[in-house]
Structure 1
Amino acid sequence: MFDQNFIENPYPTYRALREAGSAHWNGDFLGGAWLLPRHADIAPVLRDARLSAQRSHCYSALLPEPVQPAFAEFNRVFGMWLLFQDAPEHTLLRKLMNKGFAPQVTDLWRDAITRTAHTLIDRLPAHGTVDYMGSFAHPFPALVICELMGVDARDQAEFIEWSDAIARFFGNPASSLEVAYRGRDSLLAMTRYFEAVVEQRRHAPGDDLISLLIRIEEDEEALNGEQVASQCSMLMFGGHETTRNLLGNGMLALLRHPDQMQALRDDRSRIPNAVREMLRYDSPVQYLTRIAAEDFEYAGAQIRRGQMVVPLIASGNRDETRHADADRFDIGRADTAHFAFGHGPHVCIGTRLALLEAEIAFDALLARCPHIAAVDTRPEWLANFGFRGLSTLRLDMQTQPADAGAVAA
């Protein structure tokens, strides 16, 4: 199932799975898992308390038994991410962190995000071929999250390297030892980096996101230093990896549908809806995972305690029973509901930030790049099943100077 053809285009496989049934047992996926490809089965399962989000240990569990003890600290730190918490711990942690992503907070970030987008476009040549992923989509979200957290942008390259290494380990059903060790070391290095920053912020707080997370309290509860550092690692990883892929997958969708690109150029007020259609059409996250906390029957499957359940959210987004003509990319689609940010209590905490980044990025690109065309007919995809994105996307582009008033606005 998971081969090069699937990486380049998983959607025919998803369609075949939907047509074949509601639940499919795959003995090779993460050591054995129930795959759920249909939209109707995905939303309920992501709200089902019989399924646990505490699955951070599952990735190292697939490695040879003699090396698994070497991942004990990785599992402990990885397991501290909000992503892997169940209620009631998740409920409190989420309640505290939500304050850092409240609308009145994220709205204050608009100017910084806009400046970052235009700064990167300024660095592009006026004419010629550029690697859009390397020159814009890859650095943009990393620079944004660095600025929001108040960390040195000169460390951006290291953050990207760490993030990519974690994604290769986290996003593949079976990883080599080399990929696993690199992912382990990268997560621990990123967390230690943020532990040092948190300690600095305790003595010299600022107006950045890390300082905000340190200050946040609720009913005499607060995040300790290691919790803040762990969540910062999660935010850096999630904020970079998925947004980068959204910018790449979205641009590719526009290039392959020039009528939609032109419609967006003609009316950039349609960008917010277009971004949501990009997420539905080609989700940066292809699947989510949960572990059964008890035996139960679901979607015709007899699920046993400890088994992995995998909602294929990218398949659900293309389900014809939910979206008419679901394989068509249409920025004017009235209903762009999708699972790209998850669903239920674990819906992505950075949803508003990711949408804001993508909307600003595409607005700036379309405003300042009157010509954008693909150079390669078959772009290169990352060898990653869980996080779908391009490694390179070579474009022939023209860029124009920014209008100072528009950038400031």
Structure 2
Amino acid sequence: MRLPSGHDVDHDDPRALVLRFLDKDVRADPYPLLNCIRETGPVWFGTGVVVLSSRAHCEAALRATDSVPASVDARTVSAARLRRAAESAFSADAVANLLPLVRALVDDRLDSVAARGRLEAVTDLAYPVPMAVLSHVLGLPSGDAFWLHRRTMALSRALDPRPLLTGTSDASGLVEHSRALTELEAYFAEAVRKRRRGAVSDDLLSRLIRGDDRTGRLTDAEAASVGRSLLASGYETTAALISGGVLALLRAPHQIQALQRDPGHARHLVEETLRMDPPLQIVQRRAEADLDVCGTTVPRGTVMLLLPAASHRDPALVSSPDVFAPNGDSPHLAFGAGPHHCFGAPLARLIAQSVLVRFTQRVVAPRFALGSPSYRPAAALRGLQALWVDADGFAARDLPWQPSTA
């Protein structure tokens, strides 16, 4: 496969393709590059890092028992006992019970921009709704939302693997990440201490320190670490999914009409958005033992950089991989696979489906405002920076939600 014009890169050097994918000026459409990377097969950077991009390679690496998250923070919430302790907040019943809250939050956000006659999908919807829901689950004050937003965003910028691939480092980025991590650690440690001193509550942090028969009581440090990791891993990914779903609707207006006719169609729209435009585009895993990944030998200690967005467009998986077709057949690895599958996936789906349903019900004749959508520069966690939407008006809040999107 040849890259379209405008991509100045050595086609015969697979490593150059990978490094080009990290450049911020390809963020709006990285998929031609990703398709080329996938066709080259595994790409090695020395003996310590391998980039895997086919569906078979990515899924095998995710499902391997001896494949673990590369970052310490991600391993914390994946540890078996801590994972079991947190999963209760994301059971089917627990998520279903959040539906009234999610719907009220979405309507609140649309009410707040109705008089303006237009909305900016990222800051008006995509960020506030999941932050409010996660804050509710964790029992965090709503007034802390912007403070938490700034620090979780700083953490996600550290996911960029360029230093790992090139041996260089971003000193200012490291300082920003370290400061944000320290401040979030202190914030959640204090949140746990307050619960130790205060009355019984039913939020997740309270349940973590009370424990149950399966997991026992978590230490204060463990509970704080799980809470911080859940916010960091669930917030920005869900926000990017929401804004990506709105963008998909604007690009395919017939899907707006389909969703208006059948709100249940939101399930297919969300899954196809996760396939075509997944928020997490680079996943880091480390081999805890020598692995055979579909015939590729990966020695113990190797860092595996998985490219889910490339794997989702593998022709071996989907007959027309570059066509947005929300028809119920959207296989993807956006929430991982195997032992590290994201247990927060049901909540992310509920939030995204609810936003898309209400967007099509209440935003009258939505369309792109002047200017094109803009993306944040990060490659690993890709998301829109701004998406302005014009409308002919906003329907009233009392419009029924029918049928349920749960």
Q: Normalized against structure 1, the TM-score is what?
A: 0.86
In 2, distance between residues paired with 1:407 and 1:336? 24
| Alpha carbons 1:127, 1:396 under 8 Å: kept | no
Q: What CA deviation, in whole Å up to 9, does each residue of 1:370-389 have, x standing for no partner?
A: 22111245311111111010
Is 1:157 matched up with 2:146? yes
**TM-fit CA distance, 1:109:** 1.1
User: Closer, same or farther in 2 for the Cα pair 1:146/1:320, shift >3 Å?
Assistant: same
Find 2:51's aligned residue among 23, 35, 39: 35
**TM-fit CA distance, 1:340:** 0.6
Is 1:348 matched up with 2:368? no
User: Closer, same or farther in 2 for the Cα pair 1:186/1:385, shift >3 Å?
Assistant: same
Aligned to 1:328, the other structure's residue is in SS state coil
Equivalence map 1:258-277=2 (5 Å)? 258-277=253-272
**TM-fit CA distance, 1:93:** 2.1
Is 1:395 matched up with 2:392? no
| Alpha carbons 1:81, 1:231 under 8 Å: kept | yes
| Between 31-40 and 180-189, the greater mean CA deviation after superposition | 31-40
User: Closer, same or farther in 2 for the Cα pair 1:217/1:156, shift >3 Å?
Assistant: same
| Between 373-382 and 319-328, the greater mean CA deviation after superposition | 373-382
Residue in structure 2 matched with residue 70 of structure 1 by the alignment: none
Is 1:44 matched up with 2:33? no
**TM-fit CA distance, 1:209:** 2.1
| Alpha carbons 2:52, 2:306 under 8 Å: kept | yes
**TM-fit CA distance, 1:126:** 3.5
Is 1:24 matched up with 2:43? yes
In 1, distance between residues paired with 2:277 and 2:92? 26
Q: What CA deviation, in whole Å up to 9, does each residue of 1:284-335 have, x standing for no partner?
A: 1112111122344434544233221122111111111111211111122x31
User: What is the number of equivalent residue pairs in this alignment?
Assistant: 377
Structure 1, unmatched stretches of 5+, are: 58-77, 84-89
Residue in structure 2 matched with residue 86 of structure 1 by the alignment: none
**TM-fit CA distance, 1:127:** 4.9
User: Closer, same or farther in 2 for the Cα pair 1:406/1:378, shift >3 Å?
Assistant: closer
Residue in structure 1 matched with residue 186 of structure 2 by the alignment: 192
Find 2:377's aligned residue among 378, 383, 386: 383
Find 1:249's aligned residue among 222, 225, 244: 244
| Between 339-348 and 132-141, the greater mean CA deviation after superposition | 132-141
Residue in structure 2 matched with residue 14 of structure 1 by the alignment: 34
| Alpha carbons 1:281, 1:329 under 8 Å: kept | yes
Q: Normalized against structure 2, the TM-score is what?
A: 0.87
In 2, distance between residues paired with 1:119 and 1:50? 45
In 2, distance between residues paired with 1:92 and 1:404? 44
| Alpha carbons 1:34, 1:310 under 8 Å: kept | yes
User: Closer, same or farther in 2 for the Cα pair 1:220/1:322, shift >3 Å?
Assistant: closer
In 1, distance between residues paired with 2:400 and 2:92? 25
**TM-fit CA distance, 1:81:** 2.6
Aligned to 2:50, the other structure's residue is in SS state strand
Q: What CA deviation, in whole Å up to 9, does each residue of 1:74-105 have, x standing for no partner?
A: xxxx366314xxxxxx2222222222221121
Letter in 2 for 1:132: A
Is 1:229 matched up with 2:218? no
| Alpha carbons 1:99, 1:216 under 8 Å: kept | no
Is 1:141 matched up with 2:136? no
Aligned to 2:275, the other structure's residue is in SS state helix
In 2, distance between residues paired with 1:213 and 1:11? 41
Equivalence map 1:79-94=2 (5 Å)? 81-83=76-78, 90-94=79-83
| Alpha carbons 2:211, 2:218 under 8 Å: kept | yes
